[in-house]
Structure 1
Amino acid sequence: MGIVAVIVAAAAGFGFGAIWYMALAKPWVAAANIQVDADGKPIDNSPLPFVMAAVAMVLVAGMMRHTFALSQIDDPGKGLMSGLGIGLFSSARGS
């Protein structure tokens, strides 16, 4: 059951990220000075960044499951609070 939860969590995170970055793609491409074709799509179509992101999502979801299990976070309320805390405070960084 644990591996299924990790895969589902990783897929949900990857899907949320895909929707988020597709919504913000045009400003990001412009700010990063990425070369685009006539349709406005990036010229480099390498799947490597997507594969690396998917692997990273599985690793993060697996480590969070491990940490939650060791911390005895075993109900949805505790999981939600812990997940929000990890997401908010571990991704915050200074400029």
Structure 2
Amino acid sequence: MVSAYPACFFKEETGYTVVFPDLNWLSTCGETLEEAFAMAIDCLAGYLYTCEKEDIVFPSPSQMEKVNLEGIAEQLEISVKESFINIVSVCRRL
């Protein structure tokens, strides 16, 4: 089964911060965009695995167009410049 969630990627001085707003603001980072994507996949997989192991129900993903990138950046007090939203997906065993 594939799980896919929107993630907000924010360019910062030292790399990228990645935030999953649907998952209690789960976040990770990477020094490069490629590393940030890899870390986002690992972060999402770990979160969903833990939820399944502990019988925690995780929320359904939001539609990407409903994620407010500017509002999230404002709450985190970071720049929206060079930021974007992308879907991050992982395969889970049933």
Smaller-chain TM-score bracket = 0.3 to 0.5
Higher relative contact order (CA 8 A, sep 6+): 2
Structure 1 or 2: more helix by fraction? 1
* TM-score normalised to structure 1 length: 0.37
Structure 1 or 2: more strand by fraction? 2
